[in-house]
Structure formats: C-alpha cells, structure tokens
C-alpha cells in the first residue's frame, strides 16, 4: 500500500451534494461542491481556487427512486459514474491532489469465490447497469494511487430514502438474503482514518457480520414500530411482480483488509440495533 502522510489536517473538497456527500462534508469539515464533475474546466478552476489536499468523489447517478432508473438512462449514468470520476482523476493527479472515490459492494453478487465474502481483489460480477458503471470506474481508478471505498447498503440513524432502514420499512414485500451493510457513522470514521493514513487502493468498508433483511425488520418491529407488517418473498418474485427491473446485488464483503489497516468497525447487528434506537428517538 502506498501511503503519503500529511503533517497537518488535510484540506478536503467533496463533490456530489447528495446524501453521503452532505454527511461526509459535515463530518470532515470539508467544502461540498455542487459543480458537475464531468465539466473539466469547472473542476480545474475550483481545484485551483481551493487547493485541496484531498478530493472526495461522492457524486454519481444512483437512480431515483432506485437503480432501475439507470437502466433507462444509460448515457447519464455513464457520464456521472464513469466519465466524471475520470475527469476528477485527470484534474487531481497532475496537481498532486489525492482522490478518494465512493464505490459500491454492489459490483458483486451471489456467493463469493472463497469463504468470508468478496475480497477487494475479486473480479466483479455486476448484475445491473448501475453496478456495471461502478465496477468500470473502479477498474480504471485502481491503476492509480486512488483510495476507493466500497460500501454496502448504508444504514443510518436518520430517516432517508437512501437509508436501508427506511427502504426496508417502506417495502411491503422483502427478500431475505444475507448481505453486508455499512453503518454511515462508521463509514465516516473509516474514511477519515484512511485519509489520515494516506491509504490508497480498494477497501471494503462494511461492518463485520452479514445480516438478513428479516433480522433488521424483526429489530425494526421490536424497536421502532411493532405494528409494521411485511411479507418475505423469493428473489425471483421481485422481478415476476414487477417490483424490480435491474438485477439486485446481494453479497457479503470481506473486511479483513480494512481491519489490517487498523480500522476496526463494530459488529453489524450491534450497530443496526443502535441505529434503530436512535432512529426511533428521532421519529418521536
């Protein structure tokens, strides 16, 4: 692993004023830019004005209301998820600015080739256009000293359409497959630590211990809403019922590399319970 440590707090600039961009900007005390990351002259002008040590790319087309949007908007998805990260790379590299890119564990699906989940070095097997664009960008960025963070099904204490808790609570029919999850507060601390270490390369940023959606919903009923009802369905039924169009990733990420970097994230179930307790307090 190449590492470049700074003797002072790094100046950080974040692109992508979405859910995670806002959270990262607040936590890292960083400027959050709304400019289009595919607009190279605008990106360059901003870098030359701000002179950041680190750029975090939290921009991307994630699909609203979900990744099915990306299947029907392939050009926009390519622009934001592939061209944009390459523009940032092209603007940051000659200026010696370190690039951090938010990627996704959704580039994998199904059983991993070995026990303990998909490792950073495993070949992606994306099942949707969205996840293919994320895998494609990783493929290029990993040839450079970029820090690539692969997160998975973010869980948070605040209600938000992108929070796995809010998503699951909003579904009448739920599949019950084992998945890794990333608690957003833990993503924030892991990102800060890896930036401070000057880490580069790919890191799976997930809480250890995969969970099934039903386990989360059982805790949701216990802590947030005992009246909540849902029905468990098989994965195929989601497509048969027209509830999903693009393939949905289900996978477990191996977190050994993160641990070896000294970033010890708490157990997923324990953290989901804490998030649900805080989620309940905020609702009431």
Beta carbon nearer to ligand NAP, 141 or 217: 141
Residue 194 CA to its chain's centroid (Å): 15
Beta carbon nearer to ligand NAP, 8 or 211: 211
Rg of the chain's alpha carbons, rounded to an integer?
Answer: 18
Helical segments of the chain, H only: 19-28, 40-50, 68-72, 74-78, 84-92, 129-141, 164-170, 184-197, 213-223, 235-240, 256-260, 268-283
Among 153, 150, 152, CA closest to 201: 150
The CB-of-115 to ligand NAP minimum distance in angstroms stands at: 23
The CB-of-282 to ligand NAP minimum distance in angstroms stands at: 19
The CB-of-251 to ligand NAP minimum distance in angstroms stands at: 12
Beta carbon nearer to ligand NAP, 61 or 213: 61
Beta carbon nearer to ligand NAP, 179 or 227: 179
Beta carbon nearer to ligand NAP, 102 or 175: 102
Answer for the pair 54, 195: CB distance below 8 angstroms, yes or no. yes
Residue 103's SS3 state is strand
The CB-of-77 to ligand NAP minimum distance in angstroms stands at: 9
Compute CA distances 240 → 68, 234, 236, whole Å. Answer: 15, 10, 6
The contact set with ligand NAP (CB under 6 A) reads 15-21, 36-38, 58-62, 80, 84, 102, 104, 134, 151, 154, 162
The CB-of-19 to ligand NAP minimum distance in angstroms stands at: 4
């Amino acid at each position: 692993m190449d590492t470049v440590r700074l003797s002072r707090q790094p100046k950080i600039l974040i692109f992508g004023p979405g859910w995670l961009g806002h959270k990262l900007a607040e936590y890292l005390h960083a400027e959050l830019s709304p400019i289009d990351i595919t607009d190279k002259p605008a990106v360059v002008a901003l870098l030359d004005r701000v002179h950041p040590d680190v750029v975090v790319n939290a921009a991307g087309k994630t699909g609203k209301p979900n990744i099915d949007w990306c299947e029907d908007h392939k050009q926009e998805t390519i622009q934001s998820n592939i061209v944009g990260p390459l523009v940032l790379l092209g603007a940051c590299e000659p200026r010696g600015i370190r690039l951090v890119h938010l990627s996704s564990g959704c580039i994998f699906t199904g059983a991993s080739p070995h026990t303990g989940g998909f490792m950073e070095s495993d070949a992606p097997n994306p099942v949707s256009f969205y996840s293919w664009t994320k895998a494609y960008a990783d493929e290029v960025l990993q040839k450079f000293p970029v820090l690539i963070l692969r997160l998975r099904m973010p869980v948070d204490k605040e209600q938000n359409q992108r929070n796995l808790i809010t998503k699951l609570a909003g579904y009448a029919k739920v599949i019950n497959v084992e998945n890794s999850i990333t608690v957003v507060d833990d993503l924030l601390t892991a990102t800060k630590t890896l930036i401070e270490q000057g880490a580069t390369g790919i890191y799976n940023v997930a809480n250890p211990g995969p969970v099934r959606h039903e386990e989360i919903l059982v805790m949701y009923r216990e802590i947030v809403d005992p009246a909540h009802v849902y029905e468990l369905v098989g994965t195929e039924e989601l497509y048969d019922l027209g509830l999903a169009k693009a393939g949905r990733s289900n996978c477990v990420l191996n977190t050994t590399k993160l641990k070896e970097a000294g970033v010890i994230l708490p157990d997923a179930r324990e953290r989901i319970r804490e998030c649900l307790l805080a989620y309940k307090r905020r609702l009431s």
